[in-house]
């Protein structure tokens, strides 16, 4: 069955690996691509209804992407590529009030041993930005990551380095909650203490943190607002 936006509904059977799911679509069992490496254990539960988008191509193993689901009455996008497109759109239209006085937006600028997600350039210098997709919310608290991320830790250290070496006048990490029901954000010490410690270190050394909630509208993201963060929430629980 299809909804008005052409998205197909299916039922999750299982997830053989992090990028592959099996679903019941009409009377068929179909393999689908899962565009998110996170564990998403609370979301990817066999029997849950999920939403698919057709995405065929000559080099693809599957014909569909599993892009979201409804969880406790909340529509959740799980496409980890969507937050970067969302933030780029807001930057190009100057819709993020905490970034201003820049003239150009560069996607994936090279730096150190890799790339940042964005670079802003203007009269007051350069800003580097990293964007992270967040789908895990527990009792109103958005939590990242839901799987260990050495890459995320490296990005944080590179943001600190960019400030220390005067490569940028500002550095920031944006956590995009692909759902609207979070009221506060915290790093997930239980899942990845290295990332959590790195986030606290980065913030103490000038890296700005912006957690944003969104609403899924026609399978794109609409900004709801900025929420506060509590960096020590889980670390204090472990004492």
Summarize pLDDT for 15-50 with one digit per residue, the tens: 999 999 999 999 899 999 999 999 999 999 999 999
Across residues 82-105, what is the average pLDDT?
96
Task: Report the pLDDT value the prediction gives residue 211, as an integer from 0 to 100.
Answer: 98
pLDDT band for 5, please (50, 70, 90 cuts): low
Q: What is the CA radius of gyration of the chain?
A: 18
Across residues 182-188, what is the average pLDDT?
98
Task: Report the pLDDT value the prediction gives residue 175, as an integer from 0 to 100.
Answer: 98
Task: Report the pLDDT value the prediction gives residue 126, as an integer from 0 to 100.
Answer: 96
Task: Report the pLDDT value the prediction gives residue 4, as an integer from 0 to 100.
Answer: 45
Task: Report the pLDDT value the prediction gives residue 239, as an integer from 0 to 100.
Answer: 46
Task: Report the pLDDT value the prediction gives residue 186, as an integer from 0 to 100.
Answer: 98
**Would you list the domain boundaries of the chain?**
8-71, 82-237
Strand partners, 8: 2, 52
Helices and strands (H and E) in the chain: how many: 4, 17
CATH number for domain 8-71, candidates 3.40.50.1820, 2.40.50.580, 3.30.70.360, 1.20.1530.20 = 2.40.50.580
* Distance, CA of 238 to CA of 136 (rounded, Å): 20
**Which residue carries 């909650």 as its tokens?**
177
Question: Which of 5-14, 96-105, 151-160, 195-204 is predicted least confidently?
Answer: 5-14
Task: Report the pLDDT value the prediction gives residue 69, as an integer from 0 to 100.
Answer: 96
Cβ-contact 66, 25 below 8 angstroms? no
- Beta strand 74-77 with 64-71: parallel, antiparallel or unpaired? antiparallel
pLDDT band for 1, please (50, 70, 90 cuts): very low
Task: Report the pLDDT value the prediction gives residue 235, as an integer from 0 to 100.
Answer: 76
User: What burial letters (b/e) apply to 6-30, b meaning 16+ CB within 10 Å?
Assistant: ebbbbebeebeeeeebbbebeeeeb
- Beta strand 74-77 with 110-111: parallel, antiparallel or unpaired? unpaired
Task: Report the pLDDT value the prediction gives residue 225, as an integer from 0 to 100.
Answer: 97
| Residues 6 or more apart whose Cβ sits within 8 Å of residue 104 | 120, 121, 122
Q: Into which CATH architecture does domain 82-237 fall?
A: 3-Layer(aba) Sandwich (3.40)
* pLDDT tops 70 at residue 2: no
DSSP classification of residue 229: B
Q: In what order do the strands lie in the sheet with 141-144?
A: 136-138, 141-144, 184-187
Closest CA to 16 of 26, 28, 31: 31
């Amino acid at each position: 069955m299809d909804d008005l936006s052409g998205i197909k509904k299916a039922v999750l059977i299982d997830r053989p690996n992090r990028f592959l799911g099996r679903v019941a679509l009409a009377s068929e069992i179909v393999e689908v691509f899962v565009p998110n490496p996170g564990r998403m254990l609370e979301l990817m539960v066999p029997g849950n209804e999920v939403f698919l988008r057709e995405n065929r191509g000559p080099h693809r193993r599957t014909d569909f992407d599993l892009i979201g689901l409804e969880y406790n009455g909340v529509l959740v996008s799980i496409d980890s590529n969507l937050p970067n497109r969302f933030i780029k759109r807001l930057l190009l239209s100057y819709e993020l009030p905490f970034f201003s006085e820049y003239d150009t937006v560069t996607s994936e600028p090279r730096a150190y041993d890799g790339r940042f997600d964005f670079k802003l350039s203007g009269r007051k210098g350069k800003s580097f930005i990293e964007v992270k997709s967040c789908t895990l919310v527990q009792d109103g608290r958005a939590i990242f990551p839901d799987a260990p991320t050495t890459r995320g830790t490296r990005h944080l250290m590179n943001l600190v380095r960019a400030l220390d070496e005067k490569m940028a006048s500002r550095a920031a990490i944006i956590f995009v909650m692909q759902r609207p029901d979070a009221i506060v954000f915290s790093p997930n010490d239980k899942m990845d203490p290295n990332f959590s410690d790195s986030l606290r270190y980065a913030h103490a050394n000038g890296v700005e943190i912006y957690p944003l909630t969104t609403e899924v509208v026609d399978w794109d993201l609409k900004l709801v607002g900025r929420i506060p963060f509590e960096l020590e929430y889980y670390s204090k629980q472990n004492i």
